[in-house]
Chains A and B, each alone.
Chain A
Amino acid sequence: MKRLCFLYLLLPILGFSQDGERYLKDCASLMAMNRTAQSMFFYSTKREKGRLDTLSASARNDRFRAFNYVWRRDYEQAALWLEKTASQYPKEHGIIGEIYLSTLRDYLRALAHFEAYDTQTPTFDDLINHNPVSYMSGLAYRGLGDHRKAIELFSKAIDSLTIKHGAEWVNYRHFVSRAVSYIATQQPEKALADLANSTKNFNRSALVQYHRGRALLLLNRPAEARTAFQDASFFVKALRAERTGDYQEDNANPVYESEIDEALTNLKKLNH
């Protein structure tokens, strides 16, 4: 995202300026940008690669190098550096697994890294960017279509926190993920229970209302489902107004405005 913001800043300077006045202002802006030496080159990928090549080997530097290849969509080099980083610095297994899961959608490799990460402290559900590794593994199994195993792992992450501190301390997105798997395995009541807990923790969620609508449809309660989808539609528009860019409540469970509209349209068709 940082890269993206930076690009929006630079694109007008880069070219396609409409007239000389604009060109001149852009040139002055670029000079101002050049007043200091930046430590990273963002979109100048080859210059950035040159910089990374000069850095000494460390977990952080090697991870940066791997991420740079991922970002450039050089998948061969990306996998090479991801594996190299994880093998040399075992604590990196977690974040490397997350890249395989969320960016490369390689669920088998993601699971292998999550397992390697988790076995380092067998008695503790380690965290990867504030998410328990069991939850991340659940997402990987869900990606493979194994919802039952996913539910088992989501439950491990959710239940331990609920027992220790109460359901209000569980990230509402974790309840949503388990609800999605409950819906996929035709267990809408359990999904609704999870979504009710989600709502307690964030009551303006389009994501929660959308999946509530889906669960209610499975229970053949179309009137309530419509209300849920309408709420989802309202919240997603409100979020769009509040946020900039392509904001998603949860990248692991993206919900799109058109998807909600389609659900409402399908409900109308059902009634006719």
Chain B
Amino acid sequence: MKRILLLMLCLVGWPGFMWAQTPTREQLTGTWIGVHTEWDNDFVCTLPTYIRLDSDNTYHLGMVDGSASELTSTWAVRGDTVRLDTIHFSPRLVSVQDDLLRIGTTYPMIFRKFTPIEIDSVNTHQQLDGRIWQSDSLIISLYANGRASLEKRITKHRTAHFWKLARFGSSLFLVIHGNQYDRNGGYKFLWQLSSVQAKKMQAIGWNRYAVATETFQFVQNLAPGDSCRPSGFQLCDNCFDRTWHTTSLSHSEERYTLNQLIGKHHQPAIQAGQSGLVKIEFVVNCQGKSGLYTVSSVGDDYCPKVFDSRITNHLLTICRDHIAINSVLRTSDKPGTDPQDIAVSLTFRYRDGQLIDILP
């Protein structure tokens, strides 16, 4: 009996157990708003789409901000299999828990159950436009020219974007998208507004931990001369991860050009004991600005080792002044598309202060 009780407790305490159940047709019927896609354990990107599953088996896939024509098809549940349009999901790959719909396990897509909240768009626009709002963690400035800035209250890190209000049925979404340059770069977030008053607004969205209602207090009006600028280096893409965006040089022509460039600017300095690997990583954004430089190193024994700062500073200077600005990094951009952010990772092998190899 004790064993059974223990087993039951384990099952209840294991969130994956509930996720693993194929939902019923009744559970799935309704409108689901995209929350995010989980690309990795710590890397999620806003999902700006919605799914509507009607009781007459009609399936709708659309953009919450109405920026694309809705796709319409059919859906069905048979046994432990769900079909959306022509996609037959393997058993347990579509699940519902706590009003969250989870699709897939490889790159799970999370949707939340939508509840319409009627909001007047004209009045809301007037309340938000040209004003600064703050929650416990964030300060949002919504400029009259459509620009927006987001500032984390603890770190003071500020990024620049664009904002708009998007009508979804009778509901209203605050959409933050784009980057410091233009409206490209994808969506930062979409919040469903639940109430807007002169001094307080509330919005439903993902707060890094859960879908919740966030409260924003009115701070002040923006002054006419206030400009919307990031506090430092900003990526263009609102969905960025070094691993996913690292440009692979391998044994390409670009690798040869970079090696030549490094060889040209590297000043050898013999320093006994300065042996091992120095890894320098950085990011070049879509407009060619670089930032997020990191340096790490290991000795010949592959244990962490701090190299002489003359070596690491010299490498950083080469990367910043010669590599980051070199057009060779941009050759992976596809013709006809806007340039993207690129993460670069270079590892240098040193022996007694001499650069002897650059790892592929």
Interface residue ranges, A against B (CB under 8 Å):
4, 7, 10-11, 14-21, 23-24, 27-28, 30-38, 41, 43-47, 50, 72-73, 75-76, 78-80, 102-106, 245-246, 248, 251, 254, 256-259
- Beyond A11-B244, A37-B93, whether A31 also contacts B239 by CB under 8 A is no
Interface residue ranges, B against A (CB under 8 Å):
34, 37, 39-43, 45, 47-49, 61-63, 65-69, 71, 84-85, 87-90, 93, 103-109, 184-186, 236-240, 243-244, 248-257, 260, 277, 279, 298, 300, 302-304, 337-338, 340, 345, 347, 349, 357, 359-360
- Cβ-defined partner of B87 (8 Å) among A31, A44, A106: A31
- Cβ-defined partner of B40 (8 Å) among A34, A37, A45, A73: A45
Chain A residues, Cβ within 8 Å of B85: 28
15 example contacts (A-B, Cβ-Cβ < 8 A) are as follows A16-B186, A16-B237, A23-B63, A23-B67, A24-B68, A31-B109, A34-B89, A34-B109, A37-B90, A44-B43, A246-B249, A246-B252, A246-B255, A248-B251, A256-B253
Pick the most buried of A34, A41, A258: most chain B CB atoms within 10 A of its CB.
A34
Is the Cβ of A103 less than 8 Å from the Cβ of B251?
no
- Cβ-defined partner of A23 (8 Å) among B68, B105, B302: B68
Is the Cβ of A44 less than 8 Å from the Cβ of B40?
yes
- Cβ-defined partner of B61 (8 Å) among A27, A36, A256, A257: A27
- Beyond A23-B67, A75-B279, whether A43 also contacts B90 by CB under 8 A is no
Residue of A nearest to B305 (CB): A76
Assembly CA distance A50 to B16 (angstroms): 15
Assembly CA distance A153 to B359 (angstroms): 24
Assembly CA distance A21 to B49 (angstroms): 11
- Cβ-defined partner of B340 (8 Å) among A16, A24, A34: A16
Pick the most buried of A16, A28, A37: most chain B CB atoms within 10 A of its CB.
A16
Chain A residues, Cβ within 8 Å of B106: 33-34, 36-38, 41
Chain A residues, Cβ within 8 Å of B88: 35
Chain B residues, Cβ within 8 Å of A102: 360
Residue of A nearest to B298 (CB): A75
Is the Cβ of A24 less than 8 Å from the Cβ of B49?
yes
Tell me how far the C-beta of B95 lies from the nearest C-beta in chain A, rounded to whole angstroms. 12
Is the Cβ of A73 less than 8 Å from the Cβ of B248?
no
Tell me how far the C-beta of A54 lies from the nearest C-beta in chain B, rounded to whole angstroms. 13
Pick the most buried of A27, A46, A80, A258: most chain B CB atoms within 10 A of its CB.
A27
Chain A residues, Cβ within 8 Å of B66: 20
- Beyond A24-B68, A24-B71, whether A76 also contacts B251 by CB under 8 A is no
Tell me how far the C-beta of B77 lies from the nearest C-beta in chain A, rounded to whole angstroms. 15
Chain A residues, Cβ within 8 Å of B43: 44
Is the Cβ of B37 less than 8 Å from the Cβ of A30?
yes
Is the Cβ of B61 less than 8 Å from the Cβ of A21?
no
- Beyond A28-B71, A30-B109, whether A16 also contacts B338 by CB under 8 A is yes
Assembly CA distance A34 to B93 (angstroms): 8
Chain B residues, Cβ within 8 Å of A10: 107, 244
Chain A residues, Cβ within 8 Å of B184: 16, 18
Chain A residues, Cβ within 8 Å of B69: 21
Given A37-B104, A105-B359, A246-B251, 15 further pairs, Cβ under 8 A? A15-B238, A16-B236, A16-B239, A16-B338, A20-B65, A24-B68, A31-B103, A34-B105, A35-B89, A37-B106, A47-B41, A76-B303, A78-B302, A246-B253, A256-B256
Is the Cβ of B277 less than 8 Å from the Cβ of A46?
no
Assembly CA distance A228 to B253 (angstroms): 20
Is the Cβ of B84 less than 8 Å from the Cβ of A43?
no
Is the Cβ of B63 less than 8 Å from the Cβ of A35?
no
Assembly CA distance A23 to B177 (angstroms): 13
Is the Cβ of B243 less than 8 Å from the Cβ of A14?
no
Chain B residues, Cβ within 8 Å of A75: 277, 279, 298, 302, 347
- Cβ-defined partner of A18 (8 Å) among B65, B84, B89, B337: B337
- Beyond A46-B40, A76-B303, A103-B360, whether A30 also contacts B338 by CB under 8 A is no
Residue of A nearest to B179 (CB): A16
Is the Cβ of B90 less than 8 Å from the Cβ of A35?
yes
Assembly CA distance A30 to B103 (angstroms): 10
Assembly CA distance A225 to B302 (angstroms): 44
Chain A residues, Cβ within 8 Å of B104: 30-31, 33-35, 37
Chain A residues, Cβ within 8 Å of B45: 14-15
Assembly CA distance A20 to B104 (angstroms): 22
Is the Cβ of B49 less than 8 Å from the Cβ of A44?
no
Residue of B nearest to A42 (CB): B106
Is the Cβ of A46 less than 8 Å from the Cβ of B63?
no
Is the Cβ of B107 less than 8 Å from the Cβ of A30?
yes
Assembly CA distance A44 to B40 (angstroms): 5
Assembly CA distance A72 to B279 (angstroms): 12
Assembly CA distance A245 to B106 (angstroms): 26
Is the Cβ of A35 less than 8 Å from the Cβ of B87?
yes
Chain A residues, Cβ within 8 Å of B349: 105-106
Is the Cβ of A254 less than 8 Å from the Cβ of B244?
no
